[in-house]
Amino acid sequence: MQDAGPPRAPAPFDPARPWRLHPQVALRDESFGALAYHYGNRRLVFLRSRALVEVVRSLERHASAHEAVAACVPDAERAAHTVALGRLAASEVIDAR
């Protein structure tokens, strides 16, 4: 059997690329937004905005993270949500398709 090697580092976040909720992550709705639990790395991440939860859930339906944010978030809040997606990518809650 061949060694799989070291774990793959998460892709750097580029909002122009297509993204998705990581296949090993489960989202649980909460009054403040949602909890994201990664079964692979065992991280628990708080999504503190219902709009951010909507963006994350819609990522696979859009050609890019920019498109998902534009579809779900008012203009004035888009930059903050894009930064939040970058943090979710770094935490491996979302990954590049």
The region of weakest confidence among 10-19, 51-60, 88-97 is 10-19
CA 31 distance to own-chain centroid: 19
**Antiparallel, parallel or unpaired: β 33-38 and 44-47:** antiparallel
- Residue 9, pLDDT > 90, answer no
User: Are the beta carbons of 66 and 16 closer than 8 angstroms?
Assistant: yes
What's the confidence (pLDDT) of residue 69?
98
Query: pLDDT averaged over the chain?
Result: 93
- The secondary structure of residue 54, as a DSSP letter, is H
Please, where are the H alpha helices in the chain? Answer: 50-58, 65-72, 78-90
Pick left, alpha or beta for residue 19 (phi over 0 → left; psi -120 to 50 → alpha; otherwise beta). beta
Alpha-carbon torsion angle 71, 90, 37, 29, nearest 10: -20
Pairing between β-strand 25-30 and β-strand 33-38 as defined by DSSP bridges: antiparallel
Q: What pLDDT does residue 40 have?
A: 95
- pLDDT (average), residues 28-55: 96
What percent of the chain clears pLDDT 70, i.e. is strictly above it?
A: 89
Does residue 2 register a pLDDT over 70? no
Q: Give the mean model confidence (pLDDT) for residues 64-79.
A: 97
User: What's the confidence (pLDDT) of residue 3?
Assistant: 55
Give the span between the Cα atoms of 79 and 22, in whole angstroms.
22
Q: What is the pTM of this model?
A: 0.87
